[in-house]
Structure 1
Amino acid sequence: MGTSKRERQKAGHQARQSAIARAEAAAARRRRYVQAGVLALFVLVVIGGAVVLSNRDDGSDTAAPTTTVDPQAGTPVELPTPPGPGATIEGETPCPEADGSSERTTSFSAAPPMCIDPASSYTARFDTSAGPISVELDAASNPETVNNFVVLARYHYYDDTAIFRADRSIEIIQGGAPTTNSASDPGPGYTIADEGGPYTYEPGQLVMARTAAEDSAGAQFFFTAGPASSALDSQGTYVVFGTTDEAGLAVVQQILASAVDDPTSGLGGTPDPPVVIEGIEITES
């Protein structure tokens, strides 16, 4: 009887010790998961950038503020296959044909020369699957930035690319990544100098994306869709180079409103259904 009791007590003690060990191990795992989650979030904020725009060599985000508008919950949207690389221009970049007849080109050895007349007026019409967005480009204030955008558009750099980001926390939509349809797109092969600033941000603007580094913009851009974009004012480094009209802003806001959250991206969400820029027509007057 005594021996049996001692064995039961011993077994109970071992079971309790085993349970304690399991609980401690589970707690340690939870701590590791939390630490890993914090680290992953930190990496996403650093890489995904500040808010709108980030791509390795091209335009990118800045540091995005905490979400203030809850995105729609749902399965992350699968973006369409990007159009992929076009032709490559080695050496100096010639000015593209104004009539749009230039070959689609996505890789350049050098930034383009001045191909526009800063004294002229330029309009960019984005033909998207969600509707047209017409933008008056500000060549007078930002000739280098407008020139770069016009050259890329006339080389069909942006044709068939997706709006890959719709971030309701700062109310912007972002595109301009033909190789990957993502913020990590390699860009056109060069970057351009920052121009003007500091800037403030309000609904209806067309803005160059860039990394946190100076003079790091290349091709990616974003549209501001609402007042939350003013969260970028503290940075003020993204060059504003165009303004859309009321009809264009309505399309931009419609795209943003469709956003489905993708918590793995660090960039907010993605339009649902996906939105594709079919082409950008540049008009000079």
Structure 2
Amino acid sequence: MANKIRRPASPSAAERFSTRTRLLAGLLAFVMLGSLVTVTVMGFTDSTNDDNGTVPGTSQVSTATTKVVPTDCPALDKSDGPRLSFSSRPAWCLEDGATYTAVFDTTEGEIRVVLDSKRTPETVNNFVVLANYGYYDDTLLFRLDPTIAIIQGGSPHTNDWSDRGPGYTIADEGGLFKHVGGSLIGPFTYEPGQLIMARSVGPNSSGAQFFFSSGPEVARLDGQGSYIVFGETDADGLAVLENMMGLYEVDPSSPYGGGPKHEITVRSVTITSTKG
């Protein structure tokens, strides 16, 4: 008798269900894995390194459930610094309704400056961002000029007037600027105790350098009025500035005609804010 060919038994209903379940589970796992890879890759934000190798605003994720919130504003504790070079003007980092104070810790004493974010918001924002990146820390107040009562600083690269700045300039603000007889005339007047932006001769040319006014001679700049006033210190701060100016001595070898008897260092600039 010929041998009968035995066919495999047909799978039972339970077996068919089990096989189908495994196939669907495998397909679902593949889709979920693909989604996880996509979210993780998209979770990286990139930023250009500056000269110091720091990458502010860069976030990395290790799981698909981490939400990435990139930011262009530096941490208030200066952990994103020091940073001295930038490719563009800073993002807007001021909080609505807040009053900002810059605390200068110098080798000659503390100077507290209330910043004028109402009249000069862009200038204040620029200064606050730079300060929170540590831009002004461990820099010199390199120029004293008693003829116009100014004390100048804000040059971390060279500690003199030739500093290249942060890599950008900011817009003039605070009133009307106009050209008169080839000169730029602005709306500001000057008195002792102010914090003022330095600039070159052209419009919109301020970047990071600043100067304090220490005496009434600064009013000689009123005819120009183009140096943006963005803060003012109190009586204690003005006393520190007056003592600094007392360190001035004539020095024919100096490009400024003179300077302080010894270096005046800004150890740090710390920004504080209050609401209301």
The TM-score, its normalising length taken from structure 1, stands at 0.67
Give the equivalent residue in structure 2 for 1:244. 233
1:154 aligns with 2:143: no
SS in structure 2 of the partner of residue 234 of structure 1: coil
CA gap 1:239/1:93 in 2 versus in 1, 3 angstroms: farther
CA–CA distance in structure 1, aligned partners of residues 150 and 96 of structure 2:
27
1:103 aligns with 2:103: no
How many correspondences in the alignment?
A: 201
Give the equivalent residue in structure 2 for 1:177. 155
Equivalent in 88, 99, 109 of residue 131 of structure 1 = 109
| Aligned-partner residue type, residue 244 of structure 2 | I
Q: CA RMSD in A?
A: 1.9
Bigger mean CA deviation after superposition, 201-210 or 269-278: 269-278
CA–CA distance in structure 1, aligned partners of residues 133 and 53 of structure 2:
10
CA offsets 1:17-64 (integer angstroms, 9 cap, x no match): xxxxxxxxxxxxxxxxxxxxxxxxxxxxxxxxxxxxxxxxxxxxxxxx
Displacement of 1:147 in angstroms is 0.3
Give the equivalent residue in structure 2 for 1:261. 250
1:199 aligns with 2:177: no
Moved over 4 A (4+): 85-93
Highest Rg: 1 or 2? 2
CA offsets 1:178-212 (integer angstroms, 9 cap, x no match): 01000000100000011114100000000000011
CA–CA distance in structure 2, aligned partners of residues 279 and 271 of structure 1:
19
CA offsets 1:132-177 (integer angstroms, 9 cap, x no match): 0000001111110000000000000001000000001101100000
CA–CA distance in structure 1, aligned partners of residues 201 and 235 of structure 2:
31
CA–CA distance in structure 2, aligned partners of residues 87 and 268 of structure 1:
38
SS in structure 2 of the partner of residue 106 of structure 1: coil
CA offsets 1:218-260 (integer angstroms, 9 cap, x no match): 0000000000000100000000000000010111111111012
1:283 aligns with 2:272: yes
1:186 aligns with 2:186: no
| Conserved 8 A contact 1:118-1:140 | no
| Aligned-partner residue type, residue 240 of structure 1 | V
Displacement of 1:117 in angstroms is 2.1
CA–CA distance in structure 2, aligned partners of residues 263 and 231 of structure 1:
23
Give the equivalent residue in structure 2 for 1:222. 211
CA gap 1:166/1:87 in 2 versus in 1, 3 angstroms: farther
| Aligned-partner residue type, residue 192 of structure 2 | P
Displacement of 1:263 in angstroms is 3.3
CA gap 1:245/1:86 in 2 versus in 1, 3 angstroms: farther
CA–CA distance in structure 2, aligned partners of residues 117 and 168 of structure 1:
37
CA gap 1:229/1:96 in 2 versus in 1, 3 angstroms: same
Higher relative contact order (CA 8 A, sep 6+): 1
Displacement of 1:269 in angstroms is 2.5
